[in-house]
Amino acid sequence: MNILLTGFGPFPRVPRNPSQAVVEGFPDWLGGAVIHRHVLETVYAVAEREIERLLCELRPDVCLCLGVALPGVLRLETTARNRGDNAGPDHSGVARTDAIAPAGPETYAATLPLDDIAAALRAQEIDFSVSDDAGGYVCNHVFYAARHAIERHGLATRCGFVHLPEVRPDRPEAAEIEDFLRAVRVIVEVLNRAP
């Protein structure tokens, strides 16, 4: 099993992105799965090109993308939308409100075993929610671009997106990141068992 695990670097509102810390702290091997770790720039055009390049070069069995969202709990995203509607700029100062792929479908569904992932997270008493809106920022952009690339290149890669919550100011950052790492390990273990 080959798994592409991606996160994002900083952007204007988040100078220290927990998804970057999780990707950088994740092992290269887990339960027989080879983990290809990559931190994407939080820049629309760069991240889109890079996720397509990685998918085409690695042809992974699974692509698991991580990002950061508002405070709360971990979110399993079900849907990528063909739009950008966030007025905030990316890390290069660019804001996008147009279609990601003008000729592409309106939405793509995650192709990960979300029910099995949810059951495993519950069994480990890890708080999470299921969301059908990955937002209008670079997270949704990469989720959609990844699914679109997989379809266009005829890849068999299963793909999904998980939003980590922002690090809470009332807890040490290292403790928060360790909790996030534990949650992502649970998810990867499920993916490694999935047929």
For residues 172 and 133, give the distance between their C-alpha atoms in angstroms, rounded to a whole number. Answer: 29
Query: Which of the residues 91, 141, 148, 163 is marked catalytic?
Result: 163
- The reply to whether 163 belongs to the active site is yes
For residue 67, how many other CB atoms are within 10 A of its CB? 29
Provide the phi-psi class of 147: left if phi over 0, else alpha when psi is between -120 and 50, else beta.
Answer: alpha
Query: Is there a catalytic annotation at residue 36?
Result: no
Read off φ and ψ for residue 191, nearest 5 degrees.
-60, -35
User: One of 48, 63, 91, 139 is an active-site residue; which one?
Assistant: 139
Can 57 be counted among the known catalytic residues? no
Cβ neighbours, 10 Å, residue 151: 14
- Helices 138-152 and 44-58, axial angle in degrees (round to 10): 40
Which of the residues are catalytic?
Answer: 77, 139, 163
